[in-house]
Amino acid sequence: LMMRWPLLLLAGLACVLADLPENFEYATNSFVSDFVTSPVYPSQDPLPHVVHSTIIKHLPDQDLTVHLVRLTNPLLHFHVYPSLTGCPGRNRTSDNAQARGCFIAGNAGFFDTHTGACLGHVVSEGHLVQLDAQMHPSLALSRTTQRWAVGYMNEVDIVPQGQNLVYDEVVNGIGWLVREGQPYLNTSQSAEKISQAFVNLFAPRMAAGHDINGQFLMLEVDGLESANLGAKLTVMTELALEYGLYNAINLDGGGSTTVYMEGAVRNRCCDKCAAGHEAEHCPAGWDGACQRAVTTILCIR
């Protein structure tokens, strides 16, 4: 599927000076960086080239509904956006996507469900939203160097001291699923101290990354935690490898999981509607399910 409307121009491909908060201090408890970089597919076509597939994956214990989105030319068309009020802040994925002019969008990073605070680094269109070094993997894109970066990135990897912002788009997940074409969940589980319960949970899941050619891929699996439906992280790793992800991280899942495309939510959302918001029920969702308001989204436009 190819989009057919004019390109919304970006702020160019030049390095962008980091807009650090006044009196900002780099974290002193940072970890040792460990990330890999790969070329982004170099096309600068002004129209994004997108393929969306809905797949029924037959497993011994259940059939999974999988949404796979491939953006073949991400250099100009892959974006990370915070909520419309920044971080902290929350919007439904569809509301944020419509406001940003996204053709396809998905929920992105984890967040504090009590305060709406974003967790991890967030960079959007070359503007620093926040630096938050955590031992969890980032997905980053640089339009200047035309490279992806995936893995454990410190603050100085995003903004070297006294230098320019390196990446134009950055978001964090929890769990590095695939590293250079090989399963990496076991290693990342140990490094990030991810609980076995989180790994083994049957739940809706969201993952994102790129293939060996530098094309962007977003992978979503429908589910319902209360009914033990969805994917364990081990299954998400297997699916990511099966569908060609060369580097992939696990993003926020559960009730946050949302796939928006062409004005509608396409996945089976599962977050319980708040009292008084029953009319916002997702047409394709589980009974009584609405979209959850989230802090960041991935956007194709």
Task: Determine contact, residues 11/115, Cβ cutoff 8 Å.
Answer: no
Q: Is residue 79 a contact partner of residue 171, using CB atoms and an 8 Å limit?
A: no
Q: What is the pLDDT of residues 84-105, one digit of tens each?
A: 999 999 999 999 999 999 999 9
CA distance 283 to 33: 43
**SS3 category, 57:** strand
How crowded is residue 242: how many other Cβ atoms within 10 Å of its Cβ?
12
The reported pLDDT for the residue numbered 164 is: 86
What's the whole-number mean pLDDT along residues 270-297?
89
- Mean pLDDT of the 242-265 span: 97
Stretch among 13-22, 48-57, 258-267, 271-280 having the lowest mean pLDDT: 13-22
Provide φ and ψ at 265, rounded to 5°.
-80, 125
What span, in angstroms and rounded, lies between the C-alpha atoms of 55 and 77? 24
Residue 51 has pLDDT above 80, yes or no: yes
pLDDT beyond 90 at 278: no
Give yes or no for a contact between 228 and 202, defined as CB atoms under 8 angstroms apart.
yes
For residues 49-69, give the mean pLDDT.
97
Query: How do residues 142-180 score in pLDDT, each as one tens digit?
Result: 999 999 999 999 999 999 987 889 999 999 999 999 999
Phi-psi region of 59 (alpha: psi -120 to 50; beta: other; left: phi over 0): beta
* Euclidean distance between CA atoms 73 and 78, whole angstroms: 8
Which of these, 114, 115, 97, 113, lies nearest to 105 by C-alpha position? 97
Instruction: Give the pLDDT band (50/70/90) at residue 17.
Output: very low
DSSP codes joined into one string, 4-27: -S-----S-SS-B---PPTT----
pLDDT band at 26 (very low <50, low <70, confident <90, very high): low
Q: What is the mean pLDDT of the chain?
A: 90
Closest by Cα among 120, 181, 183 to 153: 120
- Per-residue pLDDT at 7: 28
How large is the average pLDDT for residues 16-42?
72
Query: Quick one: pLDDT at residue 15?
Result: 35
